[in-house]
Amino acid sequence: MRVLSGIQPTGRPHWGNYFGAIRQYIDLQDEQESYYFVANLHALTTVRDPKLLAEYTLDAAIDLLALGLDPARATLFVQSDVPEVSELCWLLMTGAPMGLLERCHAYKDKKAKGLPADAGLFNYPVLMAADILAYDADTVPVGDDQLQHIEVCRDLAASFNHQFGEVFVMPKAKILDASAKVPGIDGEKMSKSYNNTLEIFDDPKAQRKKIMRITTDSRPMDQPKEPAGDHLFQLYSLVATSDQREAMGALYRRGGFGYGEVKKALADAAERYFAEPRSRRAELASQPARVREILADGAERGRKKASQVLARAKEACGLII
């Protein structure tokens, strides 16, 4: 199995990013080959400040390393450091049907809202296809909302293969665990756009204050409560041990407690859960040259594989004479 996954550098990661995706990506790094990249070319569609994009890109790499990605077991690199992907993107665009791209969610939704959409957004799925196909990836972990991009990738690869021969490996989506969807501090899905996030690397004191402000219902303290579906309990379950979860569930069903007690337990459990990654991140952030070396080494490995695939594609369609 060859796994590929990318993360956009658009800000600091929150619990939803980690439990809903990043943790599951990293769990796959022990497969035959794993490629992880910071998708700074994709981020250009939304981040237009050059200094900010560079900062976000380095931060995203540090975050992944701090959260457990091991460069000795997986290849980590920055997307733009493998220019073969951009060239491959052009080969795919020459045969990409306009109708296929017009049906893609991000572009279609923006147009439906009357918002301006640029060519970068329109061709975003083609670049994503190039990201996947450049490394002969056969497994791509995605959430339900990203499944369309894998379908587009398969369509483009199948069309190219039909026209020029069997060039590309056909990738398959690995759907991420839907149960890992994380509620925000208001009970809605955790999202930066809703301003309801808990950042992984927040200062523990700042995070504790945010946790203590989590919205709850107004049921009296002595009333028993069913933990299933309670967003405060859901958050606690993510960072507590199994024994702690069971004890908290029993407390809910018994009643006679206040939500402030649960919030304090959540803040304590979160501080313990993320203590090691937070410490590792501080160490990595103090050694940016070391992180850049890891990314350079990853880019070299990535380019070695991508250049093989690109040469195969160029020869198939007559660009090598």
Mean pLDDT for the chain overall? 94
Quick one: which of 199, 194, 196 has its CA closest to 17? Answer: 199
**Nearest Cα residue to 120 out of 40, 61, 58, 59:** 40
CA dist., res. 68 & res. 27, Å (int)? 9
CB contact at 8 A, 7 and 60? yes
Which pLDDT does position 178 carry in this prediction? Answer: 67
Instruction: Report domain extents, the chain.
Output: 2-181+288-316, 202-273
Residue of 111, 181, 192, 264 with catalytic role: 192
Nearest-angstrom CA–CA distance, 297 and 196: 37
pLDDT band at 316 (very low <50, low <70, confident <90, very high): very high
3-state secondary structure of 3: strand
CB 218 within 8 A of CB 43: no
- Report the pLDDT value the prediction gives residue 115, as an integer from 0 to 100: 75
**One fold for both 2-181+288-316 and 202-273?**
no
Question: Could you tell me how many residues make up the chain?
Answer: 321
Which range (30-34, 56-60, 187-191) has the least confidence?
A: 30-34
Pick the CATH number of 202-273 from 3.40.50.2300, 1.10.240.10, 1.10.8.50, 3.40.640.10: 1.10.240.10
Per the annotation, the verdict on 192 as an active-site residue is yes
113 tagged catalytic: no
Q: How confident is the model at residue 52 (pLDDT cuts 50, 70, 90)?
A: very high
Catalytic status, residue 110:
yes
Contact 133, 309 (CB under 8 A): yes
Angle formed at CA 109 by CA 78 and CA 120, multiple of 5 degrees: 35
In CATH, 2-181+288-316 is 3.40.50.620: yes
* CA–CA–CA angle 186, 190, 195 (5° rounding): 70
The one catalytic residue in 181, 189, 264, 314 is 189
